[in-house]
Amino acid sequence: MRKWAKEHGLLLANIALFVVFFGGMVISGASAYTEEQAAHGQPGVSVLEYLATGDFVEATFENWESEFLQMAMYVVLTVFLFQKGSSESKPMGKSSPQDEDPRDAKIKDATPWPVKRGGLVLKLYEHSLSILLLLLFVASFTLHAAGGTAAYNEEQQSHGQPTVTMLGYLGTSRFWFESFQNWQSEFLAVAVLVGASVYLREKGSPESKPVAEPHYETGA
C-alpha cells in the first residue's frame, strides 16, 4: 500500500486538495446563498439543497470550464509552438520522443493496446488526451450555461422580470463575462509559467529545468 501511494502520490495529493477545497466551496457557497435569500425575504437552504441550485451549478462549472479549456489548448498548442529556453516547450531544432510515429515502435507486452491494434483506434488514441479535455470543456460549458440560466431566472423572477431559455442566456453579457473572466486568468497563468521557466528554477521539479541549465536550453 505504501509503495502504491508513493507511486501515485501526485495524483492522490491533488485529489485530496480538490476534495478539501471543493468541500469548502460548497459549505461557504451554501452560507452565502442563504444570506442572499434572507436579504430578499426568501427561505435559506441546507448544504445538500444548495447542490441542486443553479447558483452552485453555475459557480462550479464556470470554473471547471476554464480549467479544461486551458489544459486542452495547452496540450494542443505545445504540439506546434515552441518557447526558446522554457522547460514547458519541446526542444527546438531536434527531434522529440513525443513526435515519434507509434506505428514504427517496437511492440512489447506493456505497449498500450491501441498501438497494437492500429487503424482508427490508434488514430484516436494519438489524440485521446486533447479529445478528453475538450469533451470535458464542452460538458462543463454546457452545465455552466444550464446552471447560469437557472440562477439568472431565479433573480429575474425575484425582481418581477421575464425569464430566458438557456439559448437566451447564452446571448447575455453576464454569461460571457463569467466565461471570459475565468478564461483570461487561466491563459495568464500559463503564460507566466512558460515565460518564468526560462529564467527561474525549482530544484527537484520536472516543471523546471535543472538549476544549473543555461537559460537558452529548451525543454525539461
Q: Determine the pLDDT at residue 176.
A: 97
Residues 6+ apart with CB under 8 A from 215: 85, 198, 199
User: Does residue 63 share a domain with residue 87?
Assistant: yes
* pLDDT surpasses 90 at 51: yes
Residue at 39 is within a domain = yes
Q: Determine the pLDDT at residue 220.
A: 65
Grade residue 217 by pLDDT with cuts at 50, 70 and 90.
confident
Grade residue 93 by pLDDT with cuts at 50, 70 and 90.
confident
User: Does residue 41 share a domain with residue 8?
Assistant: yes
User: Does residue 195 share a domain with residue 145?
Assistant: yes
Asked whether the beta carbons of 111 and 125 are under 8 A apart, the reply is no
Q: What percent of the chain has pLDDT over 70?
A: 100
* pLDDT surpasses 80 at 84: yes
Q: Determine the pLDDT at residue 95.
A: 83
* pLDDT surpasses 80 at 183: yes
User: Does residue 83 share a domain with residue 139?
Assistant: yes
Residue at 214 is within a domain = no
User: Does residue 137 share a domain with residue 32?
Assistant: no
User: For 129-178, what is each residue's pLDDT tens digit?
Assistant: 999 999 999 999 999 999 999 999 999 998 889 999 999 999 999 999 99
Q: Determine the pLDDT at residue 158.
A: 85
Mean pLDDT for the chain overall = 93
Residue at 216 is within a domain = no
Asked whether the beta carbons of 122 and 102 are under 8 A apart, the reply is yes
Q: Determine the pLDDT at residue 123.
A: 95
Residue at 118 is within a domain = yes
Number of domains in the chain: 2
Residue at 21 is within a domain = yes
Report CA torsion sign: 147, 152, 158, 163.
negative
Asked whether the beta carbons of 12 and 5 are under 8 A apart, the reply is yes
Mean pLDDT of all residues in 190-200: 94
Centre a 10 Å sphere on the Cβ of residue 197 and count the other Cβ atoms it contains.
21
User: Does residue 82 share a domain with residue 42?
Assistant: no
Q: Determine the pLDDT at residue 27.
A: 97
* pLDDT surpasses 70 at 22: yes
User: Does residue 59 share a domain with residue 33?
Assistant: no
User: Does residue 153 share a domain with residue 86?
Assistant: yes
For residue 153 the three cell numbers come to 431566472
User: Does residue 11 share a domain with residue 62?
Assistant: no
Grade residue 75 by pLDDT with cuts at 50, 70 and 90.
very high
User: Does residue 23 share a domain with residue 61?
Assistant: no
Residue at 208 is within a domain = no
User: Does residue 167 share a domain with residue 79?
Assistant: yes
Residue at 31 is within a domain = yes
Grade residue 198 by pLDDT with cuts at 50, 70 and 90.
very high
Residue at 168 is within a domain = yes
Q: 191: domain range?
A: 53-92+111-200
User: Does residue 132 share a domain with residue 122?
Assistant: yes
Mean pLDDT of all residues in 55-63: 96
Q: Determine the pLDDT at residue 97.
A: 87
Rg of the chain, C-alpha, whole Å: 23
